[in-house]
Amino acid sequence: MAEKLFLEVVTPLKAVVSEEVELVVAPGSEGEFGALKGHTTFLTSLKMGALRYKDLKGKERLLFINGGFAEVLPDKVTILAESAERRKDIDVARAQQAKERAEKRLVDKASDLDFVRAEVALRKAIDRIKISGIK
């Protein structure tokens, strides 16, 4: 059995994950990184995407995180995310509607379009749908 690492994922509204795990893989702003027990200490910003971790039974778990920060210590990983959703909690219908709205905005190219905001909304919707496992 692999050594244990404590994972905490916290948003401004709630604690999403607080458990012992074997492995954490997160979308760092400079690229994806993984952490195991004994990892060197570092702090990094996170980008939007999938946070994966392996629980003590060896099952991979997925969360959608919308940016934030990660603190990696030798025995603990703390994720402070702007928002986070467990795979099972993602509202796929809502994400699909958001994707369609963002795509429409980008195609229509209205003069008052906030292009960056529309692209971020599209990326967020696509990531949430992908993480949900729905094709």
Express each pLDDT in 77-114 by its tens digit: 999 999 999 888 888 888 888 888 888 877 876 666 67
pTM of the model: 0.80
CA angle at residue 52 from 48 to 54, to 5 degrees?
165
What phi and psi values does residue 92 have, to the nearest 5 degrees?
-65, -40
Instruction: Give the number of C-alpha atoms closer than 13 A to the C-alpha of residue 68, restricted to the C-beta side.
Output: 20
Q: Which residues contact 42 (CB under 8 A, 6 or more apart)?
A: 71, 72
Give the per-residue pLDDT at 126.
77
Tell me: the pLDDT tens digits for 8-56?
Answer: 999 999 999 999 999 999 999 999 999 999 999 999 999 999 999 999 9
In the chain, the domains with their CATH numbers are 5-87 (2.60.15.10), 91-132 (1.20.5.440)
